[in-house]
Copies of this chain bind each other. A is one copy, B any other.
Amino acid sequence: MSVASATATSPGAVAVVGAGVIGRSWIRVFTRAGFPTRVYDPDAEQLGRAVAWAGASAREDVHLGLCSYSEARAAEGRITSCTTLEEALDGVDYVQESGPEAVATKQSIYRELDAAAAPGVVLGSSTSANDMTVIAQGLAGAARCIVAHPVNPPHVIPLVEVLAGAETSPGVTASTLRLLRRAGMAPVLLDRFAPGFVLNRLQAALLREAISLVGTGVASPQVVDVVMREGLGLRWALVGPFGTGHVNADGGVGSYFRMYGDAYRSVWKDLDSAPNFGEDVIDAIARGMTATYGEDAVTDLSAWRDRMVRRIMQLKVEDPPPGAD
């Protein structure tokens, strides 16, 4: 992926508020796409680490051939560390909030943001769990508040789930989608709130069955992962679950579901809704991962995953699916 795309007009400034693992990754997202990025975290040490990480991530992208040295330097140059929230919000069009997940904390952060941000500044939240209707309840600026939930880590995985609250204005939704696209992300608009949104509900549904298969002795954790890696996941990474059905029947997904609907219904009846998820099963899964990847492999595995995701995305850019606009 060419991470920095030059555009005719420079994008306006954004603020990244909260500079943990998700916030720091957003710094890289915005700066590589040309956005002047003002960063604030109440923890000055965390702020310093995040800014340093964003610089290191830019240099790593040079190493991976994802951008040039001068692009990496330019991206680093777009970061402004701020010591107060007010300073971070100065002159920005958009805020990406990535603070702690507890709803009371989110409400408190949003009260501060809404009080401090100039009118018209959009307040996007990285929340993975909360409904913007609840976070922004009672705020004067509820219309400019919106969920923009990324996948960890956003500088690698492009998807963002965008979800309006009850009071969010349609214009804010449209401008958030536009800004995220300009930042190189793949935002999707959800139509209503459900706990876990779409991504974590799909993940939870699959993990529940995966955990059950291990706990009931059908297969080892390693085998479950290989079934995904060398089987299902290869299809889903390209065409998604419905697209997989679409490809697997001559008449498309409608024919597919009419053909296999009863088979699915029959398996659904057999799925476990409350699997054993105790320490014994968790330990078995952890041992399986250590057996596959070795001890202390998380950092190396994470780096491998990140560079491979980028290569897969590059393949899709070079050879897009039929019908893609």
List residues of chain B with CB within 8 A of the CB of A268.
204, 208, 273-274
Contact assessment for B235 and A157 in the assembled complex, using a CB-CB cutoff below 8 Å: yes
Q: Which of B152, B202, B277 is the one whose CB lies under 8 Å from A209? A: B202
Question: Does A226 count as interface, using CB distance less than 8 angstroms?
Answer: yes
Residues of chain A from 234 to 281 with CB closer than 8 A to chain B in the complex: 234-254, 257-258, 261, 263-268, 270-271, 273-274, 277
Q: Is A190 an interface residue (CB 8 A)?
A: yes
Which residues from chain A sit less than 8 Å from chain B, CB to CB?
A: 129, 151-152, 157-159, 161, 186, 188-210, 213, 216-221, 223-254, 257-258, 261, 263-268, 270-271, 273-274, 277, 282-283, 285-286, 288-290, 292-294, 297-298, 300-302, 304-305, 307-309, 311-313, 315-316, 319, 321-323
Closest 3 CB pairs of A and B: A225-B240, A159-B231, A254-B286
Contact A252-B289, Cβ < 8 Å, known A129-B263, A219-B190, A247-B302: yes
CB atoms of A192 and B204 under 8 A apart: no
Beyond A200-B263, A201-B270, A235-B305, 17 additional contacts (C-beta under 8 Å) are A186-B226, A190-B223, A191-B217, A194-B218, A196-B267, A205-B208, A207-B241, A210-B241, A232-B236, A238-B304, A242-B288, A243-B289, A254-B283, A273-B273, A293-B321, A293-B323, A312-B312
State how many angstroms separate the Cβ of A140 from the closest Cβ of chain B. 29
A16 CB to nearest B CB, Å? 20
- With A202-B206, A237-B236, A285-B254 in contact, do A194 and B213 touch (Cβ < 8 Å)? yes
Q: Are A159 and B227 in contact (CB under 8 A)?
A: yes
Contacts of A297 in B (CB 8 A): 322-323
Total copies of the chain: 2
- CB pairs A–B below 8 angstroms (5 shown): A197-B218, A208-B271, A229-B238, A236-B237, A271-B273
**From A318, which residue of chain B is reached at the shortest CB distance?**
B311
Q: Assuming A190-B218, A308-B238, is B293 touching A226 (CB within 8 A)?
A: no
Residue of B nearest to A203 (CB): B232
Pick from B161, B198, B210, B312: contact of A202, CB under 8 Å:
B210
**Choice from B237, B251, B319 contacting A229 with Cβ under 8 Å:** B237
Q: How far is the CB of A294 from chain B (nearest CB, A)?
A: 4
Q: Which residues of chain B are near A307, meaning CB under 8 Å?
A: 319
Across the interface, which residues of B come within 8 angstroms of A240, CB to CB?
Answer: 224-229, 233
B206 contacts A192, C-beta separation under 8 Å: no
Given A223-B188, A228-B202, is A315 in contact with B322 using a C-beta cutoff of 8 Å? Answer: no
